[in-house]
């Protein structure tokens, strides 16, 4: 294997694993906002307990997800110096905004929310969670702005062989951005809803003491899943039109593709300008899983009079189906990224010119090391999530009232 293939494998590994954390973060924070807002409006203790339980799972995923994001940033600098040098002036702008939003605003809001229980007024504490949610979506938006530019470069000009940003508004109106961002948001809500429904189903199957509590979160998770999966399918198929027009090589043959390949051959020389078969294979399986999830909304009517709980088998179906959204988001990301090949920036910068001049041995060492680190973080995340989810919602550590001070000894007097 050469350095380019190893660099691409490392990019695929880091982004795919990090993306799993992202969809859980976006999905759960939306559900947390719904739960805590309902508690603020109604004053019912059940919503606070649910917020504490699901908030604890959210915090675990968020912390380890940040770690995977940092690892991903390192591989950008190590493996893709050509990309940074050639298009960094354009590609780096939305990523810089995303860093400010995610690592400063979002983390600040989250820290105040975590440590603000019983210290901040209820309305202020709720506002902190809303701040976490808004900045989380803003972070995802700016990442998709940067990625959409690689899919379809706009608003730039080449000076001395380097791309310079000339129209920031063009980044925001990129035709490959809107539907793709909607698709990512919908996928996150489907994943978050399925995760909430599956954990709730597990506790309902076991007949835990918090039966009424998890009955409510099962309903919220399933209803969120049912609504989001409709938008997921819609945004997914809506992308075929603009993406097929702007990237004729992604979805198959045609006169537009042949003309574009002839133009690239003249500009960049002979080569294989068709994406690997993995792109279409990933796309096909993602669509199959998406349609299977769509038919999963048939269990929603069973919420009436708790038939879903009485029959039991729908709860087991939810548990079995839990991996499907996670598999689908990885397949979708592969279809989007591999379908852009052999370009780092479509039609502008070949991947071979974007990779760093690093020898194969060092690149292989980097791939193995980063993969092991990310794999450890991913496994640790799911072990911690499973462990805390299995404990139930009796008394989560998050939001626990401070213990009363029982030390009544007088303060020492220092000479």
Q: How confident is the model over 277-298, as a mean pLDDT?
A: 93
Q: How confident is the model over 126-133, as a mean pLDDT?
A: 96
Domain count, the chain: 1
Q: Do the Cβ atoms of 47 and 38 come closer than 8 Å?
A: yes
More confident residue, 68 or 61: 61
Cα–Cα distance between 361 and 93 in angstroms, integer?
32
The model's pLDDT over 292-344, given as tens digits with 9 standing for 90+, comes to 999 999 999 999 999 999 999 999 999 999 999 999 999 999 999 999 999 99
**Is 48 inside a domain boundary?**
no
Residue 293's domain comprises 177-246+248-339
**Is 218 inside a domain boundary?**
yes
Is residue 124 pLDDT above 50, yes or no? yes
More confident residue, 274 or 71: 274
**Is 312 inside a domain boundary?**
yes
Determine the length of the chain.
415
Is residue 1 pLDDT above 90, yes or no? no
**Is 317 inside a domain boundary?**
yes
Tokens of 308: 């879903």
> Diameter of the chain by CA atoms?
91
Is residue 414 pLDDT above 50, yes or no? no
Taking CA atoms, 205 is separated from 53, 303, 307, 390, in Å, by 18, 15, 13, 12
- The candidate with the shortest Cα–Cα distance to 203, out of 227, 225, 221, 188, is 221
**Is 305 inside a domain boundary?**
yes
CA atoms within 13 A on the CB side of 259: 7
More confident residue, 188 or 357: 188
Count other Cβ atoms within 10 Å, centred on residue 119: 10
Q: How far apart are the first and last CA of the chain?
A: 72
- The alpha carbons of the chain give a radius of gyration, in whole angstroms, of 24
Q: Do the Cβ atoms of 156 and 164 come closer than 8 Å?
A: yes
pLDDT (0 to 100) of residue 254: 79
Cα–Cα distance between 322 and 327 in angstroms, integer?
10
pLDDT band, residue 410 (cuts 50/70/90): low
DSSP string over 12-69: HHHHHHHHHHHHHHHHHHHHHHHHHHHHHHH--HHHHHHHHHHHHHHHHHHHHHHHHH
pLDDT band, residue 415 (cuts 50/70/90): very low
The SS3 call for residue 163 is: strand
pLDDT above 90 coverage of the chain, percent = 70
Count other Cβ atoms within 10 Å, centred on residue 97: 17
- The candidate with the shortest Cα–Cα distance to 75, out of 139, 23, 25, 6, is 6
pLDDT (0 to 100) of residue 69: 85
- The candidate with the shortest Cα–Cα distance to 189, out of 407, 31, 70, is 31
The model's pLDDT over 190-238, given as tens digits with 9 standing for 90+, comes to 999 999 999 999 999 988 888 889 999 999 999 999 999 999 999 999 9
Pairing of strands 349-350, 343-345: antiparallel
Cα–Cα distance between 279 and 8 in angstroms, integer?
14
In degrees and rounded to multiples of 5, residue 209 shows phi and psi of -60, -25
DSSP string over 257-279: HHHHHHHHHHHH-S---SPPHHH
In degrees and rounded to multiples of 5, residue 349 shows phi and psi of -130, 110
Average pLDDT value over all residues in the chain = 91
* Helices 81-100 and 45-79, axial angle in degrees (round to 10): 160
CA atoms within 13 A on the CB side of 7: 25
**Is 289 inside a domain boundary?**
yes
Q: How confident is the model over 144-165, as a mean pLDDT?
A: 92
Q: 159 has which bridge partners?
A: 162
**Is 292 inside a domain boundary?**
yes
**Is 261 inside a domain boundary?**
yes
């Amino acid at each position: 294997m050469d350095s380019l293939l190893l660099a691409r494998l490392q990019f695929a590994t880091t982004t795919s694993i990090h993306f799993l954390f992202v969809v859980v973060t976006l999905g759960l924070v939306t559900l947390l906002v719904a739960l805590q807002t309902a508690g603020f409006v109604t004053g019912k203790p059940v919503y606070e307990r649910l917020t504490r339980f699901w908030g604890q799972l959210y915090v675990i995923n968020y912390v380890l997800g940040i770690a995977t994001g940092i690892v991903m940033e390192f591989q950008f600098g190590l493996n893709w110096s050509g990309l940074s040098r050639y298009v960094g002036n354009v590609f780096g702008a939305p990523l810089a905004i995303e860093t400010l939003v995610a690592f400063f605003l979002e983390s600040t809001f989250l820290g105040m929310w975590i440590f603000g229980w019983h210290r901040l007024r209820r309305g202020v504490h709720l506002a902190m969670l809303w701040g976490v949610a808004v900045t989380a979506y803003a972070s995802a938006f700016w990442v998709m702005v940067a990625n959409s530019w690689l899919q379809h470069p706009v608003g730039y000009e080449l000076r001395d062989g380097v791309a310079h940003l000339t129209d920031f508004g063009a980044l925001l109106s990129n035709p490959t951005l809107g539907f793709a961002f909607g698709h990512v948001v919908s996928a996150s809500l489907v994943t978050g809803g399925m995760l909430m429904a599956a954990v709730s189903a597990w506790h309902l199957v076991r007949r835990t003491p918090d039966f009424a509590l998890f009955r409510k979160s099962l309903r919220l998770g399933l209803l969120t899943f049912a609504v989001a999966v409709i938008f997921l399918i819609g945004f997914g198929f809506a992308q075929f039109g603009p993406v097929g027009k702007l990237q004729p090589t992604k979805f198959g043959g045609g006169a537009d593709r042949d003309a574009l390949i002839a133009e690239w051959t003249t500009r960049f020389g002979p080569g294989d300008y068709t994406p690997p078969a993995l792109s279409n294979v990933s796309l096909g399986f993602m669509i199959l899983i998406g349609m299977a999830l769509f038919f999963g909304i048939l269990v929603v009517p069973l919420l009436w009079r708790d038939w879903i709980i009485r029959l039991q088998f729908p709860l087991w179906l939810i548990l079995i189906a839990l991996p499907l959204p996670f598999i689908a988001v990885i397949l979708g990301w592969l279809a989007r990224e591999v379908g852009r090949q052999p370009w780092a920036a479509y039609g502008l910068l070949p991947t071979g010119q974007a990779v760093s001049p690093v020898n194969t041995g060092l690149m292989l060492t980097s791939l193995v090391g980063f993969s092991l680190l990310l794999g450890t973080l991913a496994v640790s995340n799911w072990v911690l999530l499973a462990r805390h989810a299995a404990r139930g919602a009796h008394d989560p550590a998050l939001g626990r009232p401070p213990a009363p001070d029982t030390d009544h000894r007088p303060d020492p007097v220092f000479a």
